[in-house]
Amino acid sequence: MEIFTLPWWSALLAIVLIDLVLAGDNAIVIALAARNLPPEHQNKAIIWGTIAAIVVRSAMTLCVVWLLQIPGLMFVGGLGLLWIAYKLISDTNESKSHSVHTTTFWSAMKTIVVADALMGIDNVLGVAGAANGSFDLVVIGLLISIPIVVLGSKLVLRLVERWPVIIHLGAAVLAFTAAQMLINEQLLDIWFDGEEFVHHVARGFTYVAAIAGVLGLGWLTQRRQESRNQSETYLA
């Protein structure tokens, strides 16, 4: 594809739109991962986490043909994202029960990169298709989306500080994305791919189970931690 031609601009617009659709998810992940850091490290984690996630996603796009040949990739990614969503809720209680910040810069970076890589599988496939093999389009599109993700992450972080319930909403978004990945797994097409009643029920149950499971287990973990903290305070 020749650069700066009408097809090139059309493909670039498609890539930017795909990236922007997922910018909200990225912003939530980055903000929640950085929320327990000291204030002076939060901006650094947001900026470097975004850059690292962009690099990883670019590398994944280069390997998209190989990725398509891996059976069960979406399934494993979905399960991994469910675990991350649960940890985001359970870590919230830990940060409240300790006077010091329990999250390190590098652990936040690891969460950002791993979560973005798992969530980006669908996006990578879409971007690779829109780019028609032009890696320059992928890179330019991602570079355009970086400032939006960074600004969005900072906004979400400020909102989380004011309304902590947003953490649970963010975890629900990640659980929804994880359910979507499980449903799109080709190995599970026999259960999800179709328009019969059983397929609709299976898809609906997966969404509900993923979201309710993450929020429910997170709530139980918080209750258990609160009881443990109360016992320790009483004994002290």
Q: Which tens digit of pLDDT belongs to each residue from 160-208?
A: 778 878 888 878 888 888 898 899 888 888 999 888 999 999 999 999 9
Q: What is the mean pLDDT of the chain?
A: 77
Q: How confident is the model at residue 95 (pLDDT cuts 50, 70, 90)?
A: very low
Average pLDDT over residues 94-123: 65
pLDDT at position 206 is: 96
Range in 28-42, 123-137, 168-182, 220-234 with the lowest mean pLDDT: 123-137
Closest by alpha carbon to 125, among 184, 51, 199, 48?
184
Residue 141 covered by a domain: yes
Domain that holds residue 87: 6-235
Task: Note whether residue 163 is domain-resident.
Answer: yes
Confidence (pTM): 0.66
Asked if residue 92 belongs to a domain, the reply is: yes
Decide if pLDDT at 223 tops 50.
yes
Count of domains observed in the chain: 1
Q: How many residues does the structure list for the chain? A: 236
The answer to the question of residue 223 being in a domain is yes
1 in any annotated domain: no
Q: For residue 9, give the amino acid letter.
A: W
Q: Are 165 and 98 in contact (CB under 8 A)?
A: no
How far is Cα 160 from Cα 171, in angstroms, rounded to an integer?
Answer: 12
Mean pLDDT of 80-105: 64
Q: For residues 137 and 131, is the Cβ–Cβ distance under 8 A?
A: yes
What single-letter DSSP state applies at residue 92?
A: H
Q: Burial level of 232, CB count in 10 A (0-12/13-18/19+)?
A: exposed
What confidence score (pLDDT) does residue 215 get? 93
pLDDT recorded at residue 97? 40
Is 86 a domain residue? Answer: yes
Instruction: Flag whether 149 is in a domain.
Output: yes
